[in-house]
Amino acid sequence: MTSQPPDSAAPAVQVADLSVELGGRLILRGVDLQVRQGAVVAVLGTNGSGKSTLIRTVVGLLPAARGQVRLFGTPVPRFRQWKRIGYVPQRITAAGGVPATVYEVVSSGLLSQRRLFTPMHASGKRAVEDALQIVDMADRRKDAVAELSGGQQQRVLIARALVSDPELLVLDEPTAGVDLASQQIFADAIRDRVARGTTVVMVSHDLGPMDALIDRSVVLRRGRIVYDGPPHASQTHAHVHHSHGGDEPGWLTS
Amino acid sequence: MTMFQLEFMQRALIAGLLTGLSAPAIGTYLVQRRLSLMGDGIGHIAITGVALGLLTGTAPVFTAVIVSIAGATAIELVRARGKASGDVALALLFYGGIAGGVLLIGLAGQGAATLNTYLFGSLTTVSSSDLYVVVGLAVTVLVVAIGLGPQLFAVCQDEEFARVTGLRVQLLNLLIAVMAAVTVTVAMRTVGLLLVSALMVVPVATAQQITRSFRSTFVTACIIGVVACLAGIVTSYNANVAPGATIVVLALAGFVVAATAGTLIRRRQGRVAPLADAEPEVGVPVPEPHVVSAGHPHAHNPQCGHTKVEHDDHVDYVHDGHLHAAHGDHWDEH
């Protein structure tokens, strides 16, 4: 189980002077961010502010044009311990061209620890059952994912990320288009993980029931961090034009 | 003497059995990735491979497998780069494959009859050496398709998530393309190059009508594939027509039956259990928090003389060091 890491432990996420380009446009410009282990950070900002780009670069889906991302101290291109990361993508991509059940989709969350050409371990099966329980989908395990509502599909994706017992959860708009009941289940699942020391980084423009869990928020605007600090002040700061001369480490929890 | 005692029929049936298993097996992954027509493209390219074999006097199975693997790799690389011109590049590749094949077969001094046996399958032309190659290739495809099932499933289901679990996504995508190419060669003598894609896709589409899980779709599709192949070969022998056509027509007939049955079953279930999750989707974003300017008596308008500042989709007015923006019947601090 994830125990509270010692203070000397490397930050879960370390972003230094990160610039990211998409289709020739600079989406992120010199972003610096450190997330210590055990922190719960919300990345806020309007559409197009670069928050999804930031989070997708952090998990290695997009290359950095300049600067660097480190996960647990290792630069992302060389990072191999993917079992420590749980990722919940933004769009509902749980439905492919062939039907797949809730159980099958959640099981694929265990692949980072499965060896090739070997069947799933009994402990893996138990982990899948546990993850299904957490998001309250155990009774739907044999249902096709495509037949579920948007909120239920999102719960399946959360279970898929939780099943490997990750130390860092990265959530991209976890509550977008999700019904309130699911949002609550979602928040409970995250709270449970946070209590066990899991680091959480989530992108959202609507935190909903998750609001109470956040201990720091980062606001992006046009590819730069314009606020980094306690969550509630950000709600008004997010709409003010002034930029802090100090996106400096003073604002960062480290 | 029954047809099962004829040696060429035994070989044809063994080849048919393996084709019936491996084509839907790899086809399930192609359909899941929404690349149903990939097999068709590889089939076109393989025609050039066959022609090269005939021209050089080597076994067409060998040349076909090499050329189709090269073609499949090219298709996958073009697809992975995701350029808009990729679509056109693929078309060029496919037509080049079919035209080059016909041209080379002509140069090899072979007529349309020879070409036909590769395009639509032929019972009598499976030689014993062909059969060994086919068995070897089909077993490879099945071992990969089943053994790496969880990994291939994850890649086809959600490529980005698969990357974040540390899977070698590009390698696995390439593996699927190469396995599809190998399957095309396996199926070449049974269903033929022009109809091989049908055997990859139709059994999967049929299975989907009645299944809910990936695994059951995979297994059902393989069973349907085997039944269609064996029945098609027997029919083809009796009716003396190309096996490819009978196999595909039988598979399509199966699809029609399954689609009808599936619709009826779903309709019945729908009647018994009306929409279990009729919960409303409350995904409407909460309005962004805003600060209302307290007791602001002045109504700004473009002529009021306060400095105007463009702000996203509206205009803010500078007023005593504040930014005011119209919001319904009041003014917001921006």
The pLDDT assigned to A5 comes to 47
How many other β-carbons are positioned within 10 Å of the β-carbon of residue A15?
22
How many other β-carbons are positioned within 10 Å of the β-carbon of residue A76?
18
In a domain, B154, yes or no: yes
Asked if residues A35 and A11 have their Cβ atoms less than 8 Å apart, the reply is: yes
The pLDDT assigned to B269 comes to 74
For residue B148, list chain A residues with Cβ-Cβ distance below 8 A. 116-117
Confidence of residue A214 (pLDDT cuts 50, 70, 90): confident
Confidence of residue B36 (pLDDT cuts 50, 70, 90): confident
Do B13 and B158 share a structural domain?
yes
Q: How far is CA A105 from CA A133, A173, A183, B332, in A?
A: 15, 19, 20, 46
Confidence of residue B334 (pLDDT cuts 50, 70, 90): low
- Give alpha helix (H) positions in chain B: 7-32, 38-56, 60-81, 86-107, 112-120, 128-147, 149-157, 159-164, 169-187, 196-208, 214-239, 243-272
For residue B204, list chain A residues with Cβ-Cβ distance below 8 A. 98
The pLDDT assigned to B278 comes to 46
In a domain, B150, yes or no: yes
How close does chain B come to A176, measured CA to CA in Å?
6
Question: Taking 60 as the threshold, does the pLDDT of residue A119 lie above it?
Answer: yes
End residue of a domain, out of B197, B213, B244: B197
Confidence of residue B228 (pLDDT cuts 50, 70, 90): very high
Which residue reads 């720091």 in tokens? A216
* Structural domains counted in chain B: 2
The pLDDT assigned to B205 comes to 94
Domain extent for B14: 3-197
For chain A, what percent of residues have pLDDT higher than 90? 31
In degrees, to the nearest 5, what angle opens at C-alpha A51 toward C-alphas A46 and A55?
Answer: 160
Whether B217 sits inside 8 A of A98 (CB atoms) is yes
How close does chain B come to A40, measured CA to CA in Å?
20
The mean pLDDT of B75-99, rounded to a whole number, is: 81
- Length of chain B counted residue by residue: 334
Query: What CATH fold (topology level) applies to the domain A13-251?
Result: Rossmann fold (3.40.50)
The pLDDT assigned to B75 comes to 87
In a domain, B214, yes or no: no
Whether B147 sits inside 8 A of A85 (CB atoms) is no
In a domain, B92, yes or no: yes
Which positions ≥6 away from B88 have C-beta within 8 Å?
none
In a domain, B244, yes or no: no
End residue of a domain, out of B197, B218, B238: B197
ipTM over 0.90: no
For residue A160, list chain B residues with Cβ-Cβ distance below 8 A. 161
Residue B72 maps to which CATH number?
A: 1.10.3470.10
End residue of a domain, out of B167, B197, B227: B197
In the three-class reduction of DSSP (H, G, I as helix; E, B as strand; rest coil), residue B26 is classed as helix
B289 to chain A: closest CA residue? A235
The mean pLDDT of A101-114, rounded to a whole number, is: 88
Asked if residues B165 and A84 have their Cβ atoms less than 8 Å apart, the reply is: no
The whole-chain average pLDDT of chain A stands at 82
The pLDDT assigned to A95 comes to 58
How far is A28 from B83, CA to CA, in rounded Å? Answer: 23
Nearest by CB to A239, from B160, B277, B334: name it: B334
For residue A94, list chain B residues with Cβ-Cβ distance below 8 A. 157-158
Do B320 and B182 share a structural domain?
no
Whether B167 sits inside 8 A of A150 (CB atoms) is no
Tally the C-alpha atoms within 13 A of residue B35's C-alpha that lie toward its C-beta: 23
Residue with more model confidence, B21 or B110 = B21
Nearest by CB to B212, from A97, A99, A152: name it: A99
In the three-class reduction of DSSP (H, G, I as helix; E, B as strand; rest coil), residue A209 is classed as helix
Which residue reads 């996203």 in tokens? B312
Do B315 and B177 share a structural domain?
no
Reference B220, options B229, B211, B228; nearest CA is B211
The pLDDT assigned to B286 comes to 46
- Give alpha helix (H) positions in chain A: 51-58, 102-107, 122-134, 150-162, 180-195, 231-237
Whether B154 sits inside 8 A of A108 (CB atoms) is yes
Confidence of residue B51 (pLDDT cuts 50, 70, 90): very high
Whether B211 sits inside 8 A of A99 (CB atoms) is yes
List the single range of A102-116, A159-173, A202-216, B61-75 with lowest mean pLDDT: A202-216
In a domain, B274, yes or no: no
What are the backbone dihedrals phi and psi of residue A47, each rounded to the nearest 5 degrees, phi first? -60, 135
Question: Taking 60 as the threshold, does the pLDDT of residue A159 lie above it?
Answer: yes
Cα Rg of chain A (Å, integer): 18
Residue with more model confidence, B3 or B46 = B46
In a domain, B143, yes or no: yes
List the single range of A54-68, B7-21, B102-116 with lowest mean pLDDT: B102-116
pLDDT digits (tens, 9 = 90+) for B182-223: 999 889 888 999 899 999 999 999 999 989 899 999 999 999
Asked if residues A233 and A63 have their Cβ atoms less than 8 Å apart, the reply is: no
How far is A28 from A225, CA to CA, in rounded Å? Answer: 9
* Chain B interface test: which of A69, A90, A98, A136 (most B C-beta within 10 Å): A98
The mean pLDDT of A51-68, rounded to a whole number, is: 91
Residue with more model confidence, A36 or B282 = A36
The pLDDT assigned to B49 comes to 93
Question: Taking 70 as the threshold, does the pLDDT of residue A247 lie above it?
Answer: no
Do B312 and B189 share a structural domain?
no
Tally the C-alpha atoms within 13 A of residue B30's C-alpha that lie toward its C-beta: 34
Confidence of residue A92 (pLDDT cuts 50, 70, 90): low
> Structure tokens of A53?
């780009």
Query: Can you say whether residue B325 is alpha, beta or left, with left for phi > 0 and alpha for psi between -120 and 50 degrees?
Result: beta
Reference A40, options A233, A249, A202, A206; nearest CA is A202
Confidence of residue A4 (pLDDT cuts 50, 70, 90): very low
